[in-house]
Amino acid sequence: MVDGLGRFASARSTVESAFGRVYYGVMQFALIVAVLAALFISESAPQEPVTRAGGRLFFAALAMLSVLVIAWIGTRVTTWGLQRGRRRSAWWLRRFATFQKLHIAVWLLAVGVVLYGLDWPQLVRFNWNLDGTFLADELLILTPVIVPLIASWAVFYDVDRVLQLAVAQAVPSPESHVSRASYLGLHVRQYLGLLLIPVLAMFAIQDTVHLAMPQLLESPHAWLLFLPALPLVFLGLPLMLRCVWTTTPLTAGPLRTALHDAADRCGLRVSQILVWNTDGLIANAAVAGFLPRLRYVFLSDALVDGLNQQQIKAILAHEAGHIRRHHLPLRVVAILLPMIVWVPFQALFPDRAQAFQASFTAGDIATPLIAGLAALTTLAGYGWFVFGSYARLLEKQADLFAVEAMNPTHGPESLIGALEQLAVLTGSGRHGRSWLHPTISERVDFLRRISDDPVARQRFERRLGRLSACVVAIVVMSLASPWLLG
């Protein structure tokens, strides 16, 4: 009989590891906020050098180092507790999950101090004379965001390493070891790759135009330069995912045959079904691609190893629901809604719009700070509460599609079984909340309540359909407002 930590050997993904789904959702959202804040502060900062550059650099390094120190303290305490109190391993891991959320808060505070309090963008762009250089200024401005995170992830590996050793003792395997480099590389690709590549691509376009034809950026219609790039980014996202994530085609065999049959039954046309190699650290699935020839289904290795064939088919049917119910474009327009609505606001209330924009570059210290905090809080609140709630409704609709598409003899049980198993594999539990996904408990209760009630199902579909129609209508009217308002 194995000890307390040995029970985590039921999956290679080291249940409740430092890469839990709850942490992923919070970290993903926090990183988007931090990157947007960095870029926003950079664009609104005064275009002049700052005084005492050496002191500012010292305190910036100190703030970034403090994030790493906090990560090291939490990791050391957790590893000590896991090694000496194995019967209380679950308790220590829950405390570590709470600590990681605290670490995110400390990291965000340090990012704010460096970017705004120490005028980091001005230091980079004007004291170091990097303004307008090709991507160099953007990368250095993002340094306070990126470097403390990467360093902290390297430290967090020690907690996962303790779990790996326990798994190896319980179930010896030649593949039980995940190196620190692999662990860190997975985090970088998962969190930073997909966010920074499109952002840096847009800045590459801006810098290219600035170097070749700087007068174009002064035009009020300069934003039109980026329109051709947006479709390319969205259409190229599947290829980007395939490159950023380490993927291989699902090997020929009964599983691949069954999944292709399930995809055909769901009306899902895909280029390939790919296995996302995560060293067993992530149990997840995704579908990406607006065009069938550039559409891939991604199944992580832990998901393929931890679920049976019927459960994996149910997960694929859920991903097919996202495509068949047009969730990809709906998510895009919903996440961009605040920026799109700004277009008619400027046309209808030009004076207020100008006053709001001017507040970010006011001469005093308090006004830009208050305006920046208000803007970021509003965007963050929209992202977490409004967009997040809408995305969770779309997840439920995809669950309903999966139940309808699966063999009727199984009803919702295949998908429910898959969801319950994912709660174990991801370490989030049945009640772990995510930014974009309802809890497993909510999804299971929803399926049991509504799958056998056609009236309730139709009511849910109608309400969600009206909500989606409203989102699309707002976007269309906002984009057409310059012409409608003359």
List, in sequence order, every residue forming a beta bridge with 153; answer none if it has no partner: none
pLDDT at 164: 78
SS3 assignment, position 337: helix
Number of domains in the chain: 2
Distance CA 420, CA 429 (A): 8
Both 68 and 171 in one domain: the answer is yes
Both 146 and 90 in one domain: the answer is yes
Low-confidence ranges of the chain (pLDDT < 50): 1-19
Does a structural domain hold residue 72?
A: yes
Both 306 and 447 in one domain: the answer is yes
Structure token digits, residue 332: 């895009």
pLDDT at 425: 81
Both 147 and 285 in one domain: the answer is no
Q: Is residue 287 within a helix (H) or strand (E), and if so which, with residue range?
A: strand 285-288
Both 320 and 210 in one domain: the answer is no
Residue 59, C-beta contacts closer than 8 angstroms, at least 6 positions apart: 118
- Provide the CATH number for the domain around residue 454: 3.30.2010.10
Instruction: Say if CB 446 and CB 439 are below 8 A apart.
Output: no
Distance CA 482, CA 347 (A): 7
Both 402 and 465 in one domain: the answer is yes
Is the pTM value of this prediction over 0.75?
yes
Does a structural domain hold residue 430?
A: yes
Structure token digits, residue 234: 């969205």
Residue that finishes a domain, picked among 215, 250, 267: 215
User: What φ, ψ does residue 87 adopt, rounded to 5°?
Assistant: -70, -15
Q: What is the pLDDT of residues 344-379, one digit of tens each?
A: 777 777 787 777 766 666 666 566 667 767 777 888
Does a structural domain hold residue 362?
A: no
Both 42 and 122 in one domain: the answer is yes
Both 23 and 129 in one domain: the answer is yes
Both 294 and 158 in one domain: the answer is no
Structure token digits, residue 370: 């208050």
Does a structural domain hold residue 377?
A: no
Does a structural domain hold residue 82?
A: yes
SS3 assignment, position 276: strand
pLDDT at 170: 59
Length of the chain: 486
Instruction: Say if CB 258 and CB 156 are below 8 A apart.
Output: no
Does a structural domain hold residue 138?
A: yes
Instruction: Say if CB 317 and CB 297 are below 8 A apart.
Output: no
Both 108 and 43 in one domain: the answer is yes
Both 298 and 183 in one domain: the answer is no
Distance CA 183, CA 37 (A): 27
Segments forming the whole domain that contains residue 392: 242-332+384-484
pLDDT at 47: 84
Both 398 and 451 in one domain: the answer is yes
Distance CA 101, CA 152 (A): 13
Does a structural domain hold residue 131?
A: yes
Does a structural domain hold residue 85?
A: yes
The owner of tokens 């969600």 is: 464
Distance CA 426, CA 11 (A): 10
